[in-house]
Amino acid sequence: MSADDQYAVNQCLDALNYSQANISGYKVGSAIVALNENGAFGIFDGCNIELATSKVWHAEEVALVKAISAGYRNILKCFVTSTGEQQCAACCGYCMQHLMYANPDCEIIVVNPDGSVKLRTTVRERNGPLAYLGKGRLD
């Protein structure tokens, strides 16, 4: 694993500390690796936030919004982890949809709580030739 990927894994795991999982009981952390228009590299973390009003933000969604709002729109990788031992999916359908808009070739890496890689795939691999490439895609 590269030093940058290890840093992203650490950010992903650290994000678990900020999770607000009062509804589901599952803390989720994520880190998005992206480039801006000048080619500068950035890593953006996110955690799930669950409010009593039933509003829920997924960790991947939070990290993605942080990256895009900072001008980092070339999304390369999405790291995700959870306190749920059963997690083996590479993002839920909702987060996968966001990543399809951002970059169908984005790599998704599911990380165990000890930092080891559980699953590595891409949006396109998970969704096949139907990965969304149309209206609403990031430019």
Pairing of strands 74-82, 28-35: antiparallel
Q: Please give the residue range of the domain that contains residue 94.
A: 3-130
On whether the CB atoms of residues 109 and 63 are closer than 8 A, the answer is no
Task: Determine, yes or no, domain membership for 94.
Answer: yes
Residue 135 predicted with pLDDT over 90: no
Task: Provide the token pair at 94.
Answer: 């909702």
**Burial degree of 67 (CB within 10 A; 0-12, 13-18, 19+):** buried
CATH code for position 9:
3.40.140.10
Per-residue confidence (pLDDT) for residue 60, from 0 to 100: 94
Report if pTM > 0.75.
Answer: yes
Q: What is the pLDDT of residues 25-77, one digit of tens each?
A: 889 999 999 999 999 999 999 999 999 887 899 999 999 999 999 999 999 99
Give the count of domains, the chain: 1
128: left (phi > 0), else alpha (psi -120 to 50), else beta? left
3-state secondary structure of 118: strand
Pairing of strands 117-122, 107-111: antiparallel
Task: Determine, yes or no, domain membership for 137.
Answer: no
Task: Determine, yes or no, domain membership for 135.
Answer: no
